[in-house]
Structure 1
């Protein structure tokens, strides 16, 4: 277990035979939004500059105090104004979440509908989406193995049914938990040193 910058940024990694997970705690960073954008940009360079981004309103920060319908409308209006294609799906009340989503206990307001909104983002578009990055916990799936934007958007349906299955299709995945300011990066074991170098290089700017 390795920790960097004890007073600001904490990083630890865990490895299995196939995968390495880097857990990054950034709650002590004053400029945490800049940190997230910088890290995501570097991760996008590992692919053809495209990432499948899944915004799940069941994981929204402080969600008991917001009107979900208005919140999702604001989100999709922003994407429309930026001319970013997306796919919005209503989550059925009986839907069982798996993986990281299942680890977060939420007090849902059942009067409101829950949605997932999937979009494909490039490095250039990340800064325009800062308001989304601040409000929502988000999944990112990186290195689409030659899939175009339309093919990537189709994978939103895979997430809807089984996010663990979707994770297996990509070399790198990220879960950014804004509510507790914690990020988990999962990557194939052969990329462990590569991801470690990216994190080390970025942390120098936030010491």
Structure 2
């Protein structure tokens, strides 16, 4: 799964760089809006299709009559497939919102707008399936509902020390990646504004505010412990 994601990211980055080079590093996104929307919809459909496949694989593994050492291997495989499922579903939700916003801003056809709304609804429904899968991954635990306002605190409370350590590493890496990603986004938006004379000042300000809020939340969370 990791290799597939890396290949897709490299392909997307290579495609973007090639388009920029062909257009002397100036590009009118509005001109390619329809292609972008259709491409993203295709990616979302693929993500949801793979997610559905993973969902049934987890269900099938859960019902497997494994014994002794095989049981540990099955549990590990269920956990990995659930993690892949979670990532794909969350990615499809983000891309669905991106597609819907793009269709509205660029005034795409009503058909594409309806499809964008449909993909967002289906992606949300897949998060409901995720709750069902959590119960299969951790059948012996009282997993809190995803809509619970104190979901994070309750999840940590029922996790053992090893799981907390793994989550801590993942959260901290994500935190650092978010900081770097937003800074790169600000730089790229500035470069785009200069090269195309289309101001991205609002987006730059929003990203800057998000960066300040995220860092503030992290620092004060540590400070108040």
Normalized against structure 2, the TM-score is what? 0.24
Greater length-normalized contact order (CA 8 Å, ≥ 6 residues apart): 1
Larger-Rg structure: 2
Give the structure with the higher percent strand.
1
Give the structure with the higher percent helix.
2
